[in-house]
């Protein structure tokens, strides 16, 4: 199940034309990539506010409710639990902010070094040109947009793997319905497709080729297998790890990734009024897909 969920959406990406932000496709490619990015923003924010945070707050309330008596003290504990979830969201947001600032600082240093080197070397051989191309490729991979996207995708895949593994482990209990794992599988698959499409558009817009972007998407799928293994063999401890810690942390990272990294790139796109309408529609589609998944749960 984990393999199919992780690989199927990425295989669909091979159906897309081999456009790049700075290569073939021209204005059409730029428009399609901006629509994919708008879908990503809608999907990320929809995932956070319609799916992840409601689940985290519900788990926090129920967890305290099982152990405390009725009354004002219980209400205080409920608010305290909700505050802890909010704090972890802010920590996730801050972690992505710090990583972004760090990577941008390093990018600035490398850019100055490259400029200085080019001023002292007015000629280059074919080998030097190839080395420069390889360095540029690595610079794209190590850019803040790409790194934050890969980190967010890996955390997301890991938590999905935890959910699949824990659900499968629970389905082995006689009292648990036999179709529980099937339902979880279908929901996670529906959840993954818009995420992967948006991530792909973001990576290509950052300068990666189609195949390089797909390759990195496959690489992040490893996190899903790690999460599944942990969910299968440590189901008695992952509930707290996944719902109480990783999910709100990832939610904070998603908010930063959507609003501080991807959305500014969309706003800077030189687009017509018609394309702007399509961008809004694409954003709404991302939110709607996450709403649909949340309702199915």
For the chain, the domains span 2-109+135-296
Q: What is the mean pLDDT of residues 231-254?
A: 75
Q: Dump pLDDT digits (tens) for 106-139.
A: 876 555 444 444 445 554 445 544 555 555 555 6
The number of angstroms, rounded, from the C-alpha of 190 to the middle of its chain's C-alpha atoms is 15
What would the mean pLDDT of 24-40 be, rounded to a whole number?
A: 83
pLDDT on residue 64:
47
Segment of 23-27, 145-149, 196-200, 253-257 carrying the highest mean pLDDT: 253-257
- At 143 the pLDDT is 80
What single string gives the DSSP state of each residue in 139-181?
Answer: HHHTSHHHHHHHHHHHHHHHHHHHHHHHHHHHHTSTTS-TTHH
pLDDT at residue 139 in the model: 65
Can you give the pLDDT at residue 19? Answer: 62
DSSP secondary structure letter of residue 13 = G
The SS3 call for residue 41 is: helix
- This prediction's pTM: 0.77
Cα 52 to Cα 243: distance, rounded to the nearest angstrom: 9
Lowest mean pLDDT among 13-22, 49-58, 76-85, 133-142: 133-142
Token pair of 197 as six digits: 């499409």
Distances (CA, A) of 48 to 54, 142, 258, 261: 8, 26, 11, 16
Q: Which two tokens stand for residue 194?
A: 């818009």
Q: Which of 96-100, 192-196, 248-252, 273-277 has the lowest mean pLDDT?
A: 192-196
> Residue 284: which pLDDT band, with cuts at 50, 70 and 90?
very high
What integer pLDDT is reported at residue 243 of this predicted model?
66
- CA 159 – CA 195 distance, rounded (Å): 14
Return left, alpha or beta for 173; rule: phi > 0 is left, psi -120 to 50 is alpha, else beta.
beta
Which of 105, 101, 110, 98 lies closest to 139 in space, CA to CA?
A: 110
Residue 3 has pLDDT above 90, yes or no: no
What pLDDT does 35 receive? 92
* pLDDT of 11 over the 90 cut: no
Answer whether residue 70 shows pLDDT above 50: no
Confidence band (pLDDT; 50, 70, 90) for 105?
confident
């Amino acid at each position: 199940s984990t393999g199919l969920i992780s690989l199927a959406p990425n295989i669909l990406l091979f159906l897309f034309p081999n456009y790049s932000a700075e290569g073939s496709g021209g204005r059409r490619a730029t428009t399609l990539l901006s629509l994919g990015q708008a879908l990503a923003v809608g999907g990320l924010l929809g995932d956070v506010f319609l799916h992840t945070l409601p689940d985290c707050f519900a788990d926090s309330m129920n967890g305290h409710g099982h152990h405390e008596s009725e009354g004002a003290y219980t209400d205080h504990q409920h608010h305290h639990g909700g505050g802890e979830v909010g704090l972890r969201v802010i920590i996730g947001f801050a972690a992505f902010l710090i990583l972004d600032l760090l990577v941008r600082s390093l990018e600035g240093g490398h850019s100055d070094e490259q400029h200085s080197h080019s001023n002292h070397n007015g000629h280059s051989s074919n080998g030097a040109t190839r080395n420069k191309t390889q360095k540029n490729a690595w610079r794209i991979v190590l850019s803040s947009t790409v790194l934050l996207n890969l980190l967010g995708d890996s955390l997301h895949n890991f938590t999905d793997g935890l959910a699949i593994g824990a659900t499968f482990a629970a389905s082995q209990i006689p009292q648990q319905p036999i179709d529980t794992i099937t339902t979880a599988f279908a929901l996670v698959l529906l959840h993954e497709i818009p995420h992967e499409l948006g991530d792909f558009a973001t990576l290509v817009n950052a300068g990666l080729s189609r195949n390089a972007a797909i390759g990195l998407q496959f690489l992040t799928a490893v996190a899903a297998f790690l999460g599944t293994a942990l969910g299968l063999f440590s189901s008695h401890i992952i509930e707290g790890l996944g719902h109480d810690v990783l999910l709100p942390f990832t939610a904070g990272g998603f908010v930063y990734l959507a609003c501080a990294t991807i959305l500014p790139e969309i706003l800077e796109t030189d687009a017509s009024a018609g394309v702007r309408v399509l961008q809004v529609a694409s954003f709404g589609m991302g939110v709607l897909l996450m709403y649909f998944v949340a309702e199915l749960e």
